[in-house]
Protein backbone atom coordinates (compact mmCIF):
# COMPACT_ATOMS: atom_id res chain seq x y z
CA UNK A 1 0.00 0.00 0.00
CA UNK A 2 1.46 3.36 -1.08
CA UNK A 3 -0.02 6.71 -0.16
CA UNK A 4 0.87 10.31 -0.98
CA UNK A 5 0.62 12.73 1.97
CA UNK A 6 0.27 16.50 1.78
CA UNK A 7 0.86 18.88 4.70
CA UNK A 8 0.09 22.63 4.62
CA UNK A 9 -1.48 23.44 8.00
CA UNK A 10 1.21 25.79 9.28
CA UNK A 11 4.52 27.08 7.91
CA UNK A 12 5.87 23.90 6.36
CA UNK A 13 4.85 22.86 2.84
CA UNK A 14 5.40 19.13 2.51
CA UNK A 15 4.64 16.14 0.29
CA UNK A 16 5.75 12.57 0.91
CA UNK A 17 5.10 9.02 -0.21
CA UNK A 18 5.05 6.21 2.32
CA UNK A 19 4.65 2.48 1.80
CA UNK A 20 3.30 0.11 4.45
CA UNK A 21 6.18 -2.25 5.20
CA UNK A 22 5.78 -5.98 5.92
CA UNK A 23 6.92 -5.45 9.54
CA UNK A 24 3.99 -3.17 10.34
CA UNK A 25 6.15 -0.07 10.11
CA UNK A 26 6.21 2.37 7.24
CA UNK A 27 8.86 2.89 4.62
CA UNK A 28 9.35 6.47 3.46
CA UNK A 29 9.88 6.47 -0.31
CA UNK A 30 10.07 10.26 -0.64
CA UNK A 31 9.81 13.10 1.85
CA UNK A 32 9.92 16.62 0.44
CA UNK A 33 9.57 19.74 2.55
CA UNK A 34 10.03 23.48 2.17
CA UNK A 35 10.21 25.45 5.40
CA UNK A 36 9.02 29.05 5.38
CA UNK A 37 10.99 30.09 8.47
CA UNK A 38 12.90 32.76 6.54
CA UNK A 39 9.70 34.28 5.15
CA UNK A 40 8.19 34.68 8.62
CA UNK A 41 11.32 35.49 10.65
CA UNK A 42 11.04 39.24 10.13
CA UNK A 43 7.61 39.19 11.79
CA UNK A 44 8.66 37.05 14.76
CA UNK A 45 5.98 34.47 14.01
CA UNK A 46 3.92 32.81 11.29
CA UNK A 47 1.89 35.23 9.14
CA UNK A 48 -1.14 33.27 7.83
CA UNK A 49 -1.47 35.14 4.54
CA UNK A 50 2.22 34.74 3.71
CA UNK A 51 2.02 31.05 4.65
CA UNK A 52 -0.97 30.37 2.37
CA UNK A 53 0.72 32.06 -0.60
CA UNK A 54 3.95 30.16 -0.04
CA UNK A 55 2.03 26.85 0.05
CA UNK A 56 0.45 27.70 -3.32
CA UNK A 57 3.86 28.53 -4.76
CA UNK A 58 5.65 25.38 -3.62
CA UNK A 59 3.13 22.57 -3.42
CA UNK A 60 2.85 21.35 -7.07
CA UNK A 61 6.61 21.27 -7.36
CA UNK A 62 6.95 19.29 -4.12
CA UNK A 63 4.35 16.71 -5.15
CA UNK A 64 6.06 16.26 -8.53
CA UNK A 65 9.42 15.88 -6.80
CA UNK A 66 8.08 13.34 -4.30
CA UNK A 67 6.62 11.21 -7.11
CA UNK A 68 9.87 11.45 -9.10
CA UNK A 69 12.02 10.50 -6.09
CA UNK A 70 9.81 7.51 -5.34
CA UNK A 71 9.92 6.57 -9.03
CA UNK A 72 6.12 6.44 -9.14
CA UNK A 73 3.26 7.88 -11.13
CA UNK A 74 -0.06 8.94 -9.62
CA UNK A 75 -1.58 5.77 -11.04
CA UNK A 76 0.76 3.66 -8.88
CA UNK A 77 -0.61 5.06 -5.62
CA UNK A 78 -3.29 3.44 -3.48
CA UNK A 79 -4.56 6.69 -2.08
CA UNK A 80 -4.01 10.41 -1.57
CA UNK A 81 -4.04 11.91 1.93
CA UNK A 82 -4.05 15.60 2.85
CA UNK A 83 -4.09 17.33 6.21
CA UNK A 84 -7.56 18.88 6.54
CA UNK A 85 -6.87 20.65 9.85
CA UNK A 86 -6.45 21.85 12.49
CA UNK A 87 -4.40 24.80 11.32
CA UNK A 88 -4.35 28.09 9.47
CA UNK A 89 -7.37 27.94 7.22
CA UNK A 90 -5.74 29.47 4.11
CA UNK A 91 -2.96 26.93 4.13
CA UNK A 92 -5.25 24.00 4.93
CA UNK A 93 -7.40 24.90 1.91
CA UNK A 94 -4.37 24.81 -0.39
CA UNK A 95 -3.30 21.29 0.62
CA UNK A 96 -6.79 19.87 0.91
CA UNK A 97 -7.82 21.14 -2.53
CA UNK A 98 -4.65 19.78 -4.08
CA UNK A 99 -5.18 16.39 -2.41
CA UNK A 100 -8.78 16.16 -3.59
CA UNK A 101 -7.79 17.20 -7.11
CA UNK A 102 -5.09 14.55 -7.35
CA UNK A 103 -7.41 11.87 -5.96
CA UNK A 104 -10.16 12.83 -8.34
CA UNK A 105 -7.85 12.97 -11.36
CA UNK A 106 -6.33 9.57 -10.58
CA UNK A 107 -9.49 7.87 -9.36
CA UNK A 108 -7.78 6.96 -6.06
CA UNK A 109 -9.35 7.06 -2.59
CA UNK A 110 -9.01 10.34 -0.72
CA UNK A 111 -8.22 10.54 3.00
CA UNK A 112 -8.70 13.76 4.98
CA UNK A 113 -6.17 13.56 7.81
CA UNK A 114 -6.25 15.26 11.19
CA UNK A 115 -2.80 16.84 11.59
CA UNK A 116 -2.73 15.94 15.30
CA UNK A 117 -3.64 12.34 14.54
CA UNK A 118 -0.74 12.24 12.10
CA UNK A 119 1.66 13.38 14.87
CA UNK A 120 0.06 10.82 17.20
CA UNK A 121 0.60 7.89 14.81
CA UNK A 122 4.17 8.71 13.69
CA UNK A 123 5.70 6.38 16.29
CA UNK A 124 3.99 3.49 14.50
CA UNK A 125 5.54 4.55 11.20
CA UNK A 126 9.03 4.69 12.70
CA UNK A 127 8.93 2.05 15.47
CA UNK A 128 5.85 -0.04 14.79
CA UNK A 129 4.72 0.85 18.32
CA UNK A 130 1.57 -0.97 19.37
CA UNK A 131 -1.48 0.69 20.92
CA UNK A 132 -2.11 1.97 23.51
CA UNK A 133 0.49 4.61 24.33
CA UNK A 134 0.87 8.00 25.95
CA UNK A 135 1.69 10.92 23.65
CA UNK A 136 3.20 14.27 24.53
CA UNK A 137 2.66 16.63 21.63
CA UNK A 138 4.60 19.85 22.10
CA UNK A 139 5.02 22.33 19.27
CA UNK A 140 4.59 26.03 18.59
CA UNK A 141 0.83 25.65 18.34
CA UNK A 142 -0.03 22.59 20.45
CA UNK A 143 0.68 21.24 23.90
CA UNK A 144 -1.27 18.12 24.75
CA UNK A 145 -0.95 14.87 26.62
CA UNK A 146 -3.02 12.26 24.85
CA UNK A 147 -3.89 8.64 25.42
CA UNK A 148 -3.62 7.00 22.00
CA UNK A 149 -5.81 3.90 22.21
CA UNK A 150 -6.27 3.11 18.52
CA UNK A 151 -6.74 4.78 15.14
CA UNK A 152 -9.41 7.41 15.74
CA UNK A 153 -9.48 6.62 19.48
CA UNK A 154 -7.89 9.36 21.54
CA UNK A 155 -8.33 10.55 25.10
CA UNK A 156 -7.06 14.01 25.84
CA UNK A 157 -5.56 13.86 29.31
CA UNK A 158 -4.14 17.37 29.40
CA UNK A 159 -3.82 20.49 27.35
CA UNK A 160 -2.57 24.03 27.80
CA UNK A 161 -4.94 26.63 29.17
CA UNK A 162 -2.94 29.41 27.49
CA UNK A 163 0.41 29.27 25.64
CA UNK A 164 1.85 26.24 23.90
CA UNK A 165 5.34 25.24 25.11
CA UNK A 166 7.04 26.19 21.83
CA UNK A 167 5.18 29.49 21.91
CA UNK A 168 6.51 30.16 25.43
CA UNK A 169 10.07 29.45 24.22
CA UNK A 170 9.51 31.77 21.26
CA UNK A 171 8.13 34.57 23.45
CA UNK A 172 10.97 34.33 25.96
CA UNK A 173 13.46 34.44 23.09
CA UNK A 174 11.75 37.55 21.75
CA UNK A 175 11.94 39.30 25.16
CA UNK A 176 15.67 38.63 25.17
CA UNK A 177 16.21 39.81 21.61
CA UNK A 178 17.02 36.31 20.32
CA UNK A 179 15.96 35.43 16.75
CA UNK A 180 12.88 33.42 15.69
CA UNK A 181 12.19 30.54 16.12
CA UNK A 182 13.29 30.96 19.68
CA UNK A 183 13.33 27.40 21.03
CA UNK A 184 16.73 26.36 19.66
CA UNK A 185 18.21 29.76 20.62
CA UNK A 186 16.98 29.52 24.20
CA UNK A 187 18.38 26.00 24.45
CA UNK A 188 21.76 27.17 23.15
CA UNK A 189 21.96 30.07 25.64
CA UNK A 190 20.70 27.86 28.47
CA UNK A 191 23.57 25.44 27.96
CA UNK A 192 25.97 28.13 29.28
CA UNK A 193 23.68 29.44 32.01
CA UNK A 194 22.89 28.86 35.67
CA UNK A 195 19.45 27.23 36.02
CA UNK A 196 19.28 28.19 39.69
CA UNK A 197 19.88 31.92 39.45
CA UNK A 198 16.22 32.78 38.87
CA UNK A 199 13.47 31.00 40.77
CA UNK A 200 10.75 30.90 38.18
CA UNK A 201 7.36 29.41 39.06
CA UNK A 202 6.39 25.87 38.04
CA UNK A 203 2.71 26.49 37.22
CA UNK A 204 0.19 23.68 37.80
CA UNK A 205 2.70 21.54 39.69
CA UNK A 206 0.96 18.55 41.27
CA UNK A 207 -2.51 19.68 40.16
CA UNK A 208 -4.62 16.53 39.89
CA UNK A 209 -5.16 16.91 36.13
CA UNK A 210 -2.55 16.94 33.37
CA UNK A 211 -3.16 20.48 32.10
CA UNK A 212 -0.52 23.13 31.48
CA UNK A 213 -0.57 26.85 32.06
CA UNK A 214 2.49 28.79 30.97
CA UNK A 215 1.46 32.44 30.95
CA UNK A 216 2.44 32.95 34.61
CA UNK A 217 5.91 31.59 33.93
CA UNK A 218 6.20 33.85 30.91
CA UNK A 219 5.18 36.86 33.00
CA UNK A 220 7.73 35.95 35.68
CA UNK A 221 10.44 35.94 33.00
CA UNK A 222 9.18 39.28 31.69
CA UNK A 223 9.44 40.82 35.17
CA UNK A 224 13.06 39.68 35.59
CA UNK A 225 13.98 40.92 32.11
CA UNK A 226 12.43 44.30 32.89
CA UNK A 227 14.29 44.46 36.21
CA UNK A 228 17.58 43.83 34.47
CA UNK A 229 16.82 46.58 31.93
CA UNK A 230 19.62 45.64 29.57
CA UNK A 231 20.47 42.01 30.31
CA UNK A 232 24.08 41.15 29.50
CA UNK A 233 25.23 37.86 28.04
CA UNK A 234 25.39 36.07 31.39
CA UNK A 235 21.95 37.37 32.37
CA UNK A 236 20.50 36.05 29.11
CA UNK A 237 22.14 32.68 29.59
CA UNK A 238 20.92 32.42 33.19
CA UNK A 239 17.37 33.45 32.31
CA UNK A 240 17.26 30.88 29.52
CA UNK A 241 18.65 28.15 31.77
CA UNK A 242 16.24 28.99 34.61
CA UNK A 243 13.25 29.18 32.25
CA UNK A 244 14.13 25.91 30.54
CA UNK A 245 14.58 24.16 33.90
CA UNK A 246 11.09 25.32 34.93
CA UNK A 247 9.61 24.01 31.66
CA UNK A 248 11.31 20.64 32.08
CA UNK A 249 10.00 20.32 35.65
CA UNK A 250 6.48 21.21 34.54
CA UNK A 251 6.50 18.79 31.59
CA UNK A 252 7.68 15.87 33.71
CA UNK A 253 5.15 16.63 36.46
CA UNK A 254 2.31 16.88 33.91
CA UNK A 255 3.44 13.70 32.14
CA UNK A 256 3.48 11.87 35.47
CA UNK A 257 -0.07 13.02 36.15
CA UNK A 258 -1.18 12.04 32.63
CA UNK A 259 0.30 8.58 33.13
CA UNK A 260 -1.65 8.18 36.34
CA UNK A 261 -4.89 9.24 34.58
CA UNK A 262 -4.10 6.93 31.67
CA UNK A 263 -3.66 3.95 34.00
CA UNK A 264 -6.90 4.74 35.84
CA UNK A 265 -8.92 5.12 32.65
CA UNK A 266 -7.40 2.78 30.10
CA UNK A 267 -4.89 0.42 31.74
CA UNK A 268 -1.15 0.33 31.14
CA UNK A 269 0.28 2.13 28.10
CA UNK A 270 2.98 0.33 26.11
CA UNK A 271 5.09 3.38 25.60
CA UNK A 272 5.66 7.11 25.75
CA UNK A 273 5.83 9.01 22.48
CA UNK A 274 7.06 12.57 22.11
CA UNK A 275 6.28 14.65 19.01
CA UNK A 276 6.39 18.28 17.90
CA UNK A 277 9.26 20.70 17.43
CA UNK A 278 9.89 21.09 21.17
CA UNK A 279 10.93 17.40 21.23
CA UNK A 280 14.21 18.69 19.79
CA UNK A 281 15.15 20.13 23.18
CA UNK A 282 18.07 18.16 24.61
CA UNK A 283 17.49 18.59 28.37
CA UNK A 284 13.77 17.85 27.87
CA UNK A 285 14.57 14.68 25.92
CA UNK A 286 16.97 13.58 28.65
CA UNK A 287 14.39 14.22 31.39
CA UNK A 288 11.70 12.35 29.43
CA UNK A 289 14.08 9.44 28.91
CA UNK A 290 14.66 9.23 32.68
CA UNK A 291 10.92 9.48 33.31
CA UNK A 292 10.23 6.66 30.82
CA UNK A 293 12.79 4.34 32.45
CA UNK A 294 11.48 5.12 35.91
CA UNK A 295 7.89 4.46 34.75
CA UNK A 296 8.69 1.28 32.85
CA UNK A 297 7.64 2.78 29.51
CA UNK A 298 9.28 2.28 26.15
CA UNK A 299 10.26 5.75 24.89
CA UNK A 300 9.74 6.59 21.25
CA UNK A 301 11.30 9.81 20.02
CA UNK A 302 10.80 9.97 16.27
CA UNK A 303 13.76 11.53 14.43
CA UNK A 304 13.63 15.29 14.35
CA UNK A 305 12.42 15.67 10.77
CA UNK A 306 9.43 13.48 11.69
CA UNK A 307 8.76 15.32 14.98
CA UNK A 308 8.23 18.62 13.22
CA UNK A 309 5.58 19.03 10.53
CA UNK A 310 6.13 16.78 7.53
CA UNK A 311 4.32 14.96 4.74
CA UNK A 312 5.34 11.44 5.74
CA UNK A 313 3.21 11.52 8.88
CA UNK A 314 0.18 12.56 6.79
CA UNK A 315 0.83 9.76 4.30
CA UNK A 316 1.20 7.27 7.17
CA UNK A 317 -2.02 8.40 8.87
CA UNK A 318 -3.59 7.97 5.42
CA UNK A 319 -2.33 4.37 5.30
CA UNK A 320 -3.63 3.64 8.80
CA UNK A 321 -7.08 4.95 7.90
CA UNK A 322 -7.18 3.42 4.43
CA UNK A 323 -6.38 0.00 5.95
CA UNK A 324 -9.52 0.36 8.04
CA UNK A 325 -11.57 1.50 5.06
CA UNK A 326 -11.82 5.04 6.42
CA UNK A 327 -11.87 7.27 3.33
CA UNK A 328 -13.46 10.67 2.74
CA UNK A 329 -15.54 12.41 0.12
CA UNK A 330 -14.80 15.44 -2.03
CA UNK A 331 -17.11 17.47 0.20
CA UNK A 332 -14.79 17.23 3.22
CA UNK A 333 -14.44 20.82 4.46
CA UNK A 334 -11.20 22.29 5.89
CA UNK A 335 -11.23 22.53 9.68
CA UNK A 336 -9.37 25.33 11.46
CA UNK A 337 -10.18 23.52 14.72
CA UNK A 338 -10.38 19.76 14.94
CA UNK A 339 -9.83 18.30 18.41
CA UNK A 340 -8.68 14.68 18.58
CA UNK A 341 -10.92 14.09 21.54
CA UNK A 342 -14.06 16.21 21.06
CA UNK A 343 -15.37 15.09 24.45
CA UNK A 344 -12.51 16.91 26.16
CA UNK A 345 -13.04 20.23 24.40
CA UNK A 346 -13.25 23.19 26.75
CA UNK A 347 -14.76 26.56 26.22
CA UNK A 348 -11.73 28.42 27.53
CA UNK A 349 -9.19 26.52 25.44
CA UNK A 350 -8.23 28.13 22.18
CA UNK A 351 -5.86 25.38 21.12
CA UNK A 352 -7.51 22.54 19.24
Nearest residue to Zn ion by CB is 309
DSSP state of 334: P
Burial class (CB in 10 A: 0-12, 13-18, 19+), 199: exposed
Geometric angle at alpha carbon 8, from 165 and 311, rounded to 5°: 90
Q: How many residues bind Zn ion (CB under 5 A)?
A: 2
Cβ of 326: how many Cβ atoms within 10 Å?
Answer: 14
Whole-number Å distance between alpha carbons of 86 and 116: 8
Using rule CB under 6 A, residue 140 touches ligand KG4: yes
- Nearer Cβ to ligand KG4, position 45 or 101? 45
Answer yes or no: are the C-beta atoms of 204 and 247 closer than 8 Å: no
Using rule CB under 6 A, residue 212 touches ligand KG4: no
Q: Which residues of 214-245 are buried (b: 16+ CB within 10 A; e: fewer)?
A: beebbebbeebbeeeeebeeebbbbbbbbbbb
In angstroms, give the least distance from the CB of 218 to ligand KG4: 13
Binding mask 44-83 for ligand KG4 (x = CB under 6 A): ----------------------------------------
Whole-number Å distance between alpha carbons of 119 and 180: 23
Burial class (CB in 10 A: 0-12, 13-18, 19+), 34: middle
In angstroms, give the least distance from the CB of 87 to ligand KG4: 8
* DSSP H or E segment with residue 119: helix 115-127
Of the candidates 219, 226, 210, 60, the one whose C-alpha atom is nearest the C-alpha of residue 137 is: 210
Task: Give which of ligand KG4, Zn ion, none residue 166 binds (C-beta under 5 to 8 Å, depending on kind).
Answer: ligand KG4
Using rule CB under 5 A, residue 309 touches Zn ion: yes
In angstroms, give the least distance from the CB of 74 to Zn ion: 26
- Nearer Cβ to ligand KG4, position 103 or 145? 145
Which residues inside 290-309 make contact with ligand KG4, applying CB under 6 A? Answer: 308-309
* From 51, 214, 280, 314, residue interacting with ligand KG4 (rule: CB under 6 A): 280
Using rule CB under 6 A, residue 95 touches ligand KG4: no
Of the candidate spans 89-97, 180-188, 204-212, 340-348, the one that interacts with ligand KG4 by CB under 6 A turns out to be: 180-188
Using rule CB under 6 A, residue 90 touches ligand KG4: no
List residues binding ligand KG4 (CB under 6 A).
10, 139-141, 166-167, 169-170, 181-184, 187, 276-278, 280-281, 308-309
Amino acid sequence: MRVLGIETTCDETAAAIVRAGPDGKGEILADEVVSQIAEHAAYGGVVPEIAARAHVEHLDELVARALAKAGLRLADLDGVAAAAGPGLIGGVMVGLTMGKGLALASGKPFIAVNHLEAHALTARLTDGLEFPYLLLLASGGHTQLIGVLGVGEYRRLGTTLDDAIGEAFDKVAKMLGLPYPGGPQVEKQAAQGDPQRFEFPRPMLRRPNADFSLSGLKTAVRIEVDKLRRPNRTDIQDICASFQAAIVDVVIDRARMALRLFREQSGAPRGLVVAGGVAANGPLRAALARFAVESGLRLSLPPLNLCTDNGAMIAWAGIERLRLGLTDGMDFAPRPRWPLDPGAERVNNGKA
